[in-house]
Amino acid sequence: MEKNIAVIRGDGIGPEIVDEALKVLDKIGELYGHKFVCTDVDMGGCSIDKWGSPLTEEMLKKCVESDSVLLGAVGGDKWNHLPVDKRPEKGLLNLRAGMGVYSNNRPAKIWSQLADASPLKKSIVDKGIDFIIVRELIGGIYFGEHSTADDGNIKFSEDIMRYNENEIERIGRIGFETARKRRKQLCSVEKSNVLDCSRLWKNVMHRLAGEYPDVKLTDMLVDNCAMQIVKNPAQFDVIVTENMFGDILSDEASMITGSIGMIPSSSLGNTQCGLYEPIHGSAPDIAGKDIANPIGTILSAAMMLRYSFDMEKEADCIENAVDGVLDGGYRTSDIMPDGGEGLKQVGCSEMGSLITKYLKRND
Ligand code: IPM
Ligand code: MG
């Protein structure tokens, strides 16, 4: 099969981690006879420096016309002084909106080899951590109007959160469908004791529940959810929530699995063309030092194969290789426990090479 991939290296550690994912994809192509044709796309701070905008129309077009997009990370101190709509992150938001990828899937699953890296007590981790956050990605407060003004007396700011029923329904359906393929428990997370958007959210979820009688729907307030994720993560199967709550809860969920560096994500809309990115940021403090963890990006590439290219076996092959490398005792610094007896610390590029070496066709 031949597939066109738009590749966004971005800023900070983005280029390093994406290079490792491309190493892995190259080898998959070799093993399974596929051709992955990569087109470089500028986005984020590097695009601001080069083109004066975090994402140009031309670059967005390349992404929309590709078979899928693989992204590292964007942002950094250098561009922090810019107004919100000129910042590197705005490129990412415009990309998500421009591709129409409203459904962001962020798995929180603990790898057994990394149980020691979780900050939670062993008794909690041992009950199992395996859930998915389905985050609405192109609506809500991220995409409402933002403004700051001064009435002569005092400065004030406003960020509008708005959702319509259709936006809620389409992500709600993804939540139910995702739960249906798993343990059939869907937890809808909102703040209906305060927000109108959340009350609408809850109503729509309950209306949809009638169409999915096999799925058990529960509601949870977002503050309680933040608490439950550390208290008893085993209770969750699929969480469905709006954009900003999903942003916050997915960082929390990733941490309890050991490291945010391990978590991939997929973002899909109504077509096969998806956006695949690790959920961590550009980590400028460790950029260029060859110490970043490329696994979140490598697993994002695996998700791309599975969800956009229907390459199940190839995706399994990557996940098995990651498992093998972790079994082999190799760790980047973020997943290296204190002491770490018998484990070997490796850098970003060595981790990518090891995973590539462990790729084996098993069919
Ligand atoms: C994420 C990130 C982004 C978000 C930032 C970089 C805009 O935190 O993907 O979780 O808030 O969506
Ligand atoms: Mg985030």
Euclidean distance between CA atoms 342 and 30, whole angstroms: 33
* Residues near ligand 2 ion, CB 5 Å cutoff: 247
Pairing of strands 146-150, 155-159: antiparallel
C-alpha to C-alpha distances, 121 to 125, 227, 262, 293, nearest whole angstrom: 6, 15, 20, 24
Residue 204 above 80 pLDDT?
Answer: yes
Nearest CA to ligand 1 atom 6: 89
Nearest-Å Rg of the Cα atoms of the chain is 20
Contact 228/241 with Cβ under 8 angstroms? no
Output the six-digit token pair for 12: 């900070």
Tell how far the Cα of 259 is from the centroid of ligand 2, in angstroms: 14
Query: Whose Cα sits closest to atom 7 in ligand 1?
Result: 89
What does DSSP assign to residue 334? G
For this structure, is 247 an active site residue? yes
Residue 117 is predicted with a pLDDT of 86
User: Distance between the two ends of the chain, CA-based, in angstroms?
Assistant: 17
Span from the CA of 344 to the centroid of ligand 1 (angstroms):
31
CA geometry: angle 202, 207, 209, nearest 5 deg: 95
Q: Is 253 in the pocket of ligand 1 (CB under 6 A)?
A: no
pLDDT band at 24 (very low <50, low <70, confident <90, very high): very high
For the CA atoms of 174, 28, 8, 305, the dihedral, rounded to the nearest 10 degrees, stands at -10
Q: Which amino acid appears at position 169 of this protein?
A: E
Mutate which of 86, 92, 142, 279 for ligand 1? The one with the most ligand atoms within 8 Å of its CB, which is: 92
Distance (Å) from CA 92 to ligand 2 centroid: 12
Confirm or reject: Cβ of 136 under 6 Å from ligand 1: no
- Annotated catalytic residue 142: yes
Residues 217 and 98: their CA atoms lie apart, in Å, by 31
Backbone torsions φ then ψ of 238, nearest 5 degrees: -130, 130
Nearest-CA residue for ligand 1 atom 9 is 279
Ligand 1 binding pocket mutation candidate from 247, 255, 260 (most atoms within 8 A of CB)? 247
131-185 residue pLDDT tens: 999 999 999 999 999 999 999 999 999 999 999 999 999 999 999 999 999 999 9
- Among the options 219, 251, 316, 323, which is catalytic? 251
- Please, which pLDDT band fits residue 224 given cuts at 50, 70 and 90? very high
What is the pLDDT, as a whole number, of residue 102? Answer: 98
- Residue 243 to residues 139, 281, 287, Cα–Cα distance (Å): 7, 17, 28
Sheet of strand 266-268: strand arrangement: 35-40, 2-10, 68-73, 274-276, 266-268, 103-109, 130-136, 238-241, 185-190, 216-221
Percent of residues, the chain, with pLDDT higher than 90: 96
Nearest of 212, 275, 271 to residue 240 by alpha carbon: 212
279 lines ligand 1 (CB under 6 A): yes
Averaged pLDDT of the chain: 97
pLDDT, one tens digit per residue, over 113-131 is: 998 889 999 999 999 999 9
Q: Which amino acid is at 363?
A: D
Question: Is the full-model pTM beyond 0.85?
Answer: yes
For residue 340, the CA-to-ligand 1 centroid distance in Å is: 31
- Answer yes or no: is the C-beta of 247 below 6 A from any ligand 1 atom: yes
Q: Which ligand is nearest to the CA of 96?
A: 1
Supply the residue whose CA is at minimum distance from atom 12 of ligand 1: 247
Look up residue 289 and give its DSSP letter.
T
pLDDT at position 339, please? Answer: 86
